[in-house]
Amino acid sequence: MFVLDNVQDGEDIHQRCLLITGHCTDAPEDSHITISTVTDSNKTIFPDQQWPMHRGYFKALLLLNPGNNKITIHSGFNSADSLTLTLRHIPLLQTPPLHLAILIAKDSPLLIDCPPSKFASLSTAHSSLSAAISKFRLTALMWQALTAEEFRLSGLSRRAFRLEEEYLPSTLSREHHHTPHPPLQSIPKIHLVRTEHTVSSLRDAQRAQQNPHAKEPNSLHEIFSSALKAHGAPFSSGHPATVAGLILDSHYDAEQNLLVGHAALGAHNPSGLSLGIFGSHLTYAWPRFMEEVASCLVDTTAPGGTVANDNGECGTAWEACAVGQGAFLHEVGHAYGAPHTTGIMVRGYSPDWVRWFVCRMGYCERRKEGGLLAKGVEEGNECRWDVRDLLRFRAQEGFALPGDGETHKGEVSIEVEDVEGGELGVKVACEAGIAVVRLNGADETGVSVRAPVREVRFSLAELERRFDANKGLELLAVGMNGKERKTDVWKLVKSTSWVRVPGTSIRLLKKAVGTEESEGWQWAVLLKKKGKHGTLVDASKVDVRVGCGLDGAVVYYRDGTKVPCGPRGQHGDDPHMGGHQAKKIAIRNGVEVTKVAVNEGGGWGLSGLRIWLSDGNARGALNGKGDGVRVLVPDEGHRIIGFYGTSGTYGMCQKFGIITAPKDVELPDSVYDMEELQNNPERRRNKKRKISVEEHSETEDDEASTSEDEDDGYDNASDVDEMSD
């Protein structure tokens, strides 16, 4: 008896190529299934296809025609054992397609690299331009089927990019290939794009991406883009277009042991041309026809030394097929805005690509394994689209489904909030719904794409119990619209405009002028401190250290000690602060600091500081007046109790601010033990200290940017609107 795992009778399918998986309960060890596809009137849609079955499990690809498709699955061991279902294919012609293009040099021999095992010296069956076109069409359909199934598995409804099609004699079946007059069908369109560059120019070692000394490793992407625009519509219309581009004249130069005429690069431009490119050097291993898919993905033939062993991962023909098809899809991912996340976008396709399409893996020398695969694609499969990438894709018009509604609303926000009882909390929100929340890389339960929520809240007490406050706590939140935000929770809490005094309802407020470097010394100095015996000691004076810029300040106490408003050294050996305009201001008993003026007009940070006391005295130097001077005064009912800020890499002060407390409240002694209100010499630069106040440290990946942090072994270009991978 047949059981299908991922599709049901009567379903509407919007993409042309559909991956189906299932099992047969009484099948022998190794057998096969036969699939026939006909219309309601029993007209053949596609020639019957046989797919291998191992221990009763099978995977197969179906090509659907618009309208009803009657699918019948027969077992290869029992002619009476069959299953029939009807699927309705509704192509979404209103969505922008993925275009397929092949770049051809003006003097190209119209041949691709091909090993002797594919009859390179005897036949052009796997090396001609026609063969490359057939292989490219089928590969794009496999991309489509994989992507749609991944969306379904992730709970985001089966969806994928539409392929641009044209009505031509079909090349998708071996039976069509051997027929004098193959049937006319809608098949993926391949744009043949000529460039004015010669084969020699495209194969220049200075353009070879895998040449570590290449001067122009990204130039093939520029050449391809220019050729597309010169080719004309739909690439020169000024409208957005997404293209998968195959470079026909790639070649492995055995003498140089260098792959030339190849680049694996992708760039996303939401208002223009988005292009992912890849060389043809592994295309020989791709299937030409639907009948060759399974055999190509288990072929253990060694390609030999006449073709590229790309990244050392192509020891067999099936591995070459997997790397070529998977790495090219990686670049298409960049063209759709995916950065280097996980899975497909970090080389997860090698060697797990085959898990999507067959139930048995050919032997792999690198892994020293082969044989039966897990029945599903989810178990141990690194060839997956990251859920963040799926959400990015889903928010784009090319992946839209009828009934999606508005999917683009709202940014993702992460903010500190005041909750009941004087406690702090962290709130994550997005109008489109929150689909993913990760703390230090681990998914939080209760939030998923299947059950998105508008808001997620954490109490600070809960986070302190679960995570070490002296180590970073990364919070990643992704909205259903693909927007995401990432921040360090401890820094976020510390950078709020107030500080919670633990165990009380007292809030200390913060105001500052300036910015801070990513690698700076964060400091805080109070105007009282605990002495040797635990008694409180008042500040006696402040030395304002100003030269051409603001070096910082030094607070002196009545017990003879001092603490710099700046970097510290070990054992009291603090770095020297310059300042030819340095001025000291004495703080008598009963006198308070009432306001601070800071000039932020300096090129090295802040350029001046002046301090006023309640007795009318003032000291310091501002190095100018005007728009750059900012005056910091306490809020109504507050008084200044200290200073805080950041000193930069070169010691100059980047940020200077005041800490204030309510006038009518006596602060508990515990305030003077709070680590975030100290400037301890053992503190390292940017050490994640235990919470209270917050500094904003957050980044947002939008769909128009990709990253090149990962070394793929293929691509090393720049970000999305430029290039990636």
| 634 vs 684, residue with greater confidence | 634
What's the first-to-final CA gap in the chain, in angstroms? 46
Question: Region 580-604: what's the mean pLDDT?
Answer: 90
Residues 46 and 189 in one domain: no
Residues 386 and 430 in one domain: no
**Residues 6+ positions from 432 with CB-CB distance below 8 Å:** 406, 407, 408, 409, 410, 479, 480, 481, 483
Residue 372 has pLDDT above 90, yes or no: no
Nearest to 256, CA basis, from 302, 303, 316, 211? 211
Partners of 119 in the β-ladder: none
59 in a structural domain = yes
549 in a structural domain = yes
Residue 688 has pLDDT above 60, yes or no: no
Element (H, E) at 57: strand 57-63
Residues 243 and 107 in one domain: yes
d(CA 264, CA 247): 10
Residues 279 and 371 in one domain: yes
d(CA 529, CA 539): 8
Residues 430 and 319 in one domain: no
Residue 14 to residues 149, 156, 377, 392, Cα–Cα distance (Å): 12, 14, 21, 19
Burial of 342 (0-12, 13-18, 19+ CB in 10 A): middle
699 in a structural domain = no
- Which CATH number belongs to the domain containing residue 41 in this structure? 2.60.40.2550
- Which CATH number belongs to the domain containing residue 603 in this structure? 2.100.10.30
Rg (CA), the chain: 33
List the structure tokens of 108: 């190209």
Nearest to 317, CA basis, from 128, 129, 125, 118? 118
Domain boundary among 397, 428, 463: 397
Q: Contact 528/670 with Cβ under 8 angstroms? A: no
Q: How many domains does the chain have?
A: 4
Residues 305 and 323 in one domain: yes
Residues 329 and 453 in one domain: no
Question: Region 287-297: what's the mean pLDDT?
Answer: 96
152 in a structural domain = yes
**pLDDT at residue 188 in the model:** 98
Q: Contact 175/159 with Cβ under 8 angstroms? A: no
Residues 324 and 203 in one domain: yes
Residues 81 and 111 in one domain: no
420 in a structural domain = yes
Domain boundary among 70, 89, 108: 89
Residues 566 and 668 in one domain: yes
Residues 450 and 586 in one domain: no
| Full domain range(s) for residue 350 | 98-397
- Mean pLDDT of the chain, nearest integer: 88
469 in a structural domain = yes
Stated pTM of the model: 0.79
Residues 381 and 521 in one domain: no
- Give residue-wise pLDDT tens across range 390-415: 999 999 999 999 988 776 778 899 98
Question: Region 214-226: what's the mean pLDDT?
Answer: 96
714 in a structural domain = no
**pLDDT at residue 712 in the model:** 40
- Give residue-wise pLDDT tens across range 323-351: 999 999 999 999 999 999 999 999 999 87
581 in a structural domain = yes
Residue 656 has pLDDT above 90, yes or no: yes
